[in-house]
Amino acid sequence: MVQAAVAPTLKTSDEIAIMREAGRIVARTHQAMREAVRPGVSTADLDAIAAEVLRKHNATPTFLNYPQANGPAYPATITASVNEELVHGIPRPDRILREGDIISLDVGCLFEGFVGDAAFTMGVGAIAPSVQRLLTVCEQALYVAIAAAVLPNSVRDVALATQTFVEKQGYTVARTYTGHGVGRKMHEPPDVPNWWPRSAERRGWVNEPLRAGMTLALEPMVIAGRPDTRELEDGWTVVTKDCSLCAHFEHTVAVTDGEPLILTLL
């Protein structure tokens, strides 16, 4: 888990208003992709749709060419993760969706200097009721996390609320990948995990107190099997080690003196 090197940047009401517009663009992109998901569509098709929506709204994709320390830059506008792929799946023309698949689509954009970031998971055609339950629980977990993002809570409170809810439903949460602060950059402090082990403080985890003006990308990643993951040879795609299905939902949220404000809705 990466630790926060600097204090979180608190946003003004004007800056949050710009982030709300960035969030609306992300939501419109989600809507266009949802309408396009069906058997026979490739993940590259969905990437092209997203790129067009962002261009139409004068927004820049924040994922495209995103760097990493020890590997290739990310090569696409969206991440498109299918079935056992947890996050960071790279869109490809030969990755064709089939009836019964599930797909997680994550989009980030930069608009007037600020980032919106959100993800959702949906079925391709008809999916089994047990698979739909996984998706439903993951989306519910996102709203549990959002409800916990209030004063005077801390990052630990959000993490434990998410973990407790998911585990009570019989699933696990991904442990290596976290939510994060977001604003002028796609990744800002603090990290916001989806679980909080008893050894967290000994590991040096930072239990950042929430403050009004913080903007967070909250993103539960729920796994039907064990929480262990591995990265594929492409340097980006993360899959479950036991090949179990997984889901991912995300919203960008502003912490306020009252209720959290979800910035990535229409």
Report which secondary-structure segment, H or E, holds 28.
helix 13-36
* Predicted pLDDT at 3: 53
Closest among 30, 252, 22 to 120, alpha carbons compared: 30
Q: What is the pLDDT of residues 76-119, one digit of tens each?
A: 999 999 999 999 999 999 999 999 999 999 999 999 999 999 99
Mention every residue, 6+ apart, whose C-beta is less than 8 A from residue 111: 18, 21, 22, 25, 57, 58, 59, 60
Do 118 and 27 form a contact (C-beta atoms < 8 A)? yes
25 sits in the region (left: phi over 0; alpha: psi -120 to 50; else beta) called alpha
Q: What is the pTM of this model?
A: 0.96
Q: What is the pLDDT of residues 212-262, one digit of tens each?
A: 999 999 999 999 999 999 999 999 999 999 999 999 999 999 999 999 999
Q: What is the pLDDT of residues 170-192, one digit of tens each?
A: 999 999 999 999 999 999 999 99
Closest among 165, 48, 166 to 107, alpha carbons compared: 48
Instruction: Return the structure tokens found at 56.
Output: 């139409």
13-262 folds as: Creatine Amidinohydrolase (3.90.230)
Closest among 83, 108, 109, 107 to 95, alpha carbons compared: 83
Domain ranges (residues) in the chain: 13-262
Instruction: Return the structure tokens found at 206.
Output: 């930072």
* Predicted pLDDT at 260: 98
